[in-house]
Structure 1
Amino acid sequence: MTGGSSRVRTGAPGRAVLLRAIRGQRRDLALGSVLGAGHQAGEALVPVLIGVVIDQAVAGGDAGALLGWLAVLAVVYVGLSFGFRFGARAGERAAERSAHALRVELVRRVLDPRGGAENGRLPGTLATIATEDAKRVGAVAMAVMIGISALTGLLVGAVVLLRISVPLGLTVLAGTPVLLWLGHLLGKPLERRSEAEQERAAHASGVATDLVTGLRVLKGIGAESAAVARYRRTSRDSLAATLRAARAEALQNGMVLTLTGCLIAVVALTGGRLALQGDISLGQLVSAVGLALFLLGPLEVFSYVNADLAQGRASAARIAEVLSAPPRVTSGGARPARPVRGAVRLRGVSHGGLRQVDLDVAPGEVLGVAATDPADAAALLRCLGRRSDPDSGVVELDGVPLNELDPADLRMAVLVADHDAELFEGTLHDNVGAAAPGDAGSGRIARALAAAGADEIVRALPLGGDTAVGERGSSLSGGQRQRVALARALAAERPVLVLHDPTTAVDAVTEARVAAGVREFRRGRTTILVTTSPALLAVTDRVILLDDGQVTDSAPHAELVRRHAAYRTAVLA
């Protein structure tokens, strides 16, 4: 029931995506269609010219006429060959550019600071939509070009058959629309099953990505067999959906081919009867039979076009769901104060487990936040980074509510760095300097590496900072990845930096060094450390204790250790 309503809801937006993808490549489509139409018209004329050769040259024994008509045939073959070559090139270019434009649009939507596109979707699912679904929608451009070309060939063949014999032409003109209509009806099950196939494949890809990402954790807890069983079930569902779609496509192709063969047989039988009655000449009979065989090609093309359109419509609906996903937060029209002082204020904020939280962070202050419940810390981070707006209350930056700011502008003023931030494929220096473009030679990256305790990693690597870290930092240990990610956050030098447990994977000695380095590097700029690490909390100006979703106390680390059992349990246990 849900799947059906989803298709109804996304059908119109999916059609809009499909039409936009086609219109965006109209120049290449027009060129490819014209050249393809010329190729098909030339193909249709070949049996006609052979019939003329038989009637005017072979039957009469005229060698000169034979050579002349053979030369004409050669010119036609050269023309249709070039038409196919350059027409197909234009069609492929349109398909690839269309798919590329969709991929860019999808990536732009996924990276939109307002969020929302990832809701309810695994990363692997989004990757499949941006690759396979975009490719299928792009392929529709090629299908449209081929369809126009085939229709041209069909019309030329029908006109020639009309000139040879009205009954022959009428047979083709009457049978073709019926064949196209039946092909469209047969494509409906394929469209539905293709949508299910892509959904199952995307889910399987998402589960695989999820499992690979957490492979070390799975091995650590001995859950490999459970993970394999989960993926086996998901993969089996995907295989079943793929087989159902393949059966639907095979049924459609087989039925259309059978109907096409019946139409061609009727044309050939009609032509043979007319030749026996003397209504058409031998050459015209050869032309008619040749045209009937030629028409098999365009009519088979319509089956391919129908299948591509069905799959393209299903993929376009999935793409439309991502592009039209409502943003998680709205975009305001206000701008942050210039320069950003870094005063952060929460007034009556309730979100998730947070209840009526009031908090003031002075410009340049290093504040620690210790939460007895990790879920409360996560809720606070979502509000500070405006990944979600509070259910009630307001978060302000320099007196301006965050919900009145554009999320992109906010990201340039406030950086929330998660403890599990991912590295990307490239060198270590590329990762650290990602948020500080053009600044590699100023020493900021080197200072950030030293503050994060990552300078020793650089010294240990064979090529230093130019060493490739691999996808997701796979060549580094967990502690090394965490320190490189922290260095990247520091190198960004945002006016307000929020760090979430940046040292959970490092030893105590390194953690103490990192704590001192962060304090020194961020001197004079607002820094919020959301953590239960005593080494980090010890270097803050004061610590806020979040207990049961509320601010229960605010004092230096040592003072909170003395007077709060809940704080000692959260920080020292």
Structure 2
Amino acid sequence: MVDAYEDPGTPQTRGGWWYLWWAVARQGARPWAAGGLGTVWMVLLAVQPYMMQRAVDEGLLPGRTGVLAAWTAAMFLVGAVTAWLSILRHRTMTRLRMDASFRTSKLVVEHAVRLGAALPRRVGAGEVVTVGVGDVSAISDSLSMVGPGVASIVLYGVVAGLLVTVSAPLALVVLLGLPALAVVTGPLSRRLQGVESEYRERQSVLTARIGDLAGGLRVLGGLGGKALIADAFRADSRRLREQGYRVASVASWVQALAVGLPTLFLAVVTWIAARMAAQGSLSIGQLVAVYGYVAVLVGPVAFFVEMVYDLNRGVVAARRVVRLLRLEPEPDEGTLPAPEGPAELCDPVSGTRVAPGLLTALAAARPADATAVIDRLGRYGPTDATWGDVRVDAVPLADVRRRILVADNEADLFAGPLREAVAAG
């Protein structure tokens, strides 16, 4: 998994699918290990019905106890190996998902720090919160397709090949099952992606409104605006709830198909196999094997449907992350050296002067005016302020941040260079 002090890398920001591919490719051999372990695990699941067929036809029906015991022991050993591989597969997939989650979180946090004061002016607080809380989780969940997704495709081909040796019509039914599934779920997946995107937009707007309420509740109470804001919040919440119902409606169909279609698939193939066994085309052992093969396929078929759901949610989330990562910091064109020692700060717009070594109090008719002066002196936006005999924006931003500290009344914790700057005055 990504280390807390490790470079998370340069992400692909061309789109949501590109970002998901980068999140997988960045992990080196782990996706290959997940796919390999998942494939062997699922193939061993398909081996069990074949061994059961041999045990029935060669041991149970002829009454050969030794052959039956041998095939039973072999099935036990294969089952034990399958369980062990399942543990390794699950462990590898967990690391894969957690790596993507930590890597995305680290990218978002580092980019937010890189944007600095430009972040609140270009992205709403609700959007940042929603990306950090919901989208990171959706991206990590979508990577579940790496291991079981590859394994399911391989298993589908293996089972189809095994069924060819039993009955060509049954193999044809199995091979046509997956395309039929894609035809049924395709329109739903596109619709799900659309309603999920709209839901995310409304969710970020509502989260931003909650942040605004928390920050300005006392002011609203003093101005008598609480009722107006509360009505607007209720309206936004109602719209978000209605959009959530639309998402849930589409998602419920996807989930229902994930359970219903595999069951229908199993019933159709079992019915065909039972008819063939009644006509003498299949032996009892082959009938048992066919049922086992199709029962094993229920998992991959259900996973295909669920994979569509997770991938659509992951792509929507990745697009939101990519949109944030595409934002560029404001250019730093400062090239002049900072003053050697303490120097006066001057804001020509308001006439404010802050002399070094003295406590200066700034009073304004409107608090926003005082905030604007502080932002100009601290270079948190366009400014004509001077620092000694040099403009503040002519000094590299890193030097400005080391020497000039702007903190609001909610700044409680300082660390490292900030604490040293406060101590140095």
Using structure 1 for the length normalisation, give the TM-score. Answer: 0.64
Aligned counterpart, 2:89? 87
Q: CA deviation at 1:62?
A: 0.8
Aligned residues: 414
**Quick one: distance in 2 between partners of 1:24 and 1:125?**
26
Aligned counterpart, 2:174? 172
Aligned counterpart, 1:58? 60
**Quick one: distance in 2 between partners of 1:82 and 1:226?**
60
SS at match of 1:320: helix
8 Å contact from structure 1 (residues 196, 241) kept in 2 = yes
Asked if residue 330 in structure 1 is aligned to residue 346 in structure 2, the reply is no
- Greater relative contact order (CA < 8 Å, ≥ 6 in sequence): 2
Q: CA deviation at 1:220?
A: 5.0
**Quick one: distance in 1 between partners of 2:180 and 2:392?**
60
Q: Deviations over 1:106-162 (max 9, x none)?
A: 112222254433335443432221111111111112233222232232222122112
Aligned counterpart, 2:343? 342
**Quick one: distance in 1 between partners of 2:261 and 2:162?**
22
Structure-2 change in CA distance of 1:403 and 1:180 (3 Å): farther
1:188 aligned to which of 190, 203, 216: 190
Aligned counterpart, 2:372? 379
**Quick one: distance in 2 between partners of 1:40 and 1:299?**
13
Structure-2 change in CA distance of 1:492 and 1:191 (3 Å): farther
SS at match of 1:118: helix
8 Å contact from structure 1 (residues 336, 410) kept in 2 = no
The amino acid of 1:213's aligned partner reads G
Aligned counterpart, 1:271? 273
The amino acid of 2:296's aligned partner reads F
**Quick one: distance in 1 between partners of 2:143 and 2:157?**
21
Percent identity at matched positions?
25
**Quick one: distance in 2 between partners of 1:220 and 1:360?**
32
Structure-2 change in CA distance of 1:175 and 1:224 (3 Å): same
8 Å contact from structure 2 (residues 402, 418) kept in 1 = no
User: Which one has the largest radius of gyration?
Assistant: 1
Aligned counterpart, 2:410? 422
Q: CA RMSD of the aligned region, Å?
A: 3.2
Structure-2 change in CA distance of 1:263 and 1:157 (3 Å): same
8 Å contact from structure 1 (residues 382, 388) kept in 2 = yes
**Quick one: distance in 2 between partners of 1:174 and 1:96?**
36
Q: Deviations over 1:519-546 (max 9, x none)?
A: xxxxxxxxxxxxxxxxxxxxxxxxxxxx
Q: CA deviation at 1:316?
A: 0.9
**Quick one: distance in 2 between partners of 1:111 and 1:146?**
36
Structure-2 change in CA distance of 1:404 and 1:157 (3 Å): farther
8 Å contact from structure 1 (residues 183, 256) kept in 2 = no
Q: CA deviation at 1:67?
A: 0.9
Larger helix fraction of residues: 2
- Where structure 2 has 5 or more consecutive residues not aligned to the other structure, the ranges are 1-11
Aligned counterpart, 1:131? 133
8 Å contact from structure 1 (residues 114, 331) kept in 2 = no
The amino acid of 2:331's aligned partner reads T
- Note the 1:219-368 alignment, pairs <5 A: 219=221, 224-255=226-257, 257-327=259-329, 329-332=330-333, 334=335, 336-337=337-338, 339-344=340-345, 354=349
Using structure 2 for the length normalisation, give the TM-score. Answer: 0.85
Larger strand fraction of residues: 1
**Quick one: distance in 2 between partners of 1:87 and 1:283?**
31
Aligned counterpart, 2:399? 409
- Note the 1:76-225 alignment, pairs <5 A: 76-112=78-114, 114-119=116-121, 121-180=123-182, 182-219=184-221, 224-225=226-227
Structure-2 change in CA distance of 1:492 and 1:232 (3 Å): farther
8 Å contact from structure 1 (residues 51, 284) kept in 2 = yes
The amino acid of 1:491's aligned partner reads V
Aligned counterpart, 2:422? 491
**Quick one: distance in 2 between partners of 1:214 and 1:376?**
17
Q: CA deviation at 1:395?
A: 4.2
Q: CA deviation at 1:35?
A: 2.0
Structure-2 change in CA distance of 1:222 and 1:402 (3 Å): closer
**Quick one: distance in 2 between partners of 1:151 and 1:403?**
58
**Quick one: distance in 2 between partners of 1:212 and 1:361?**
32
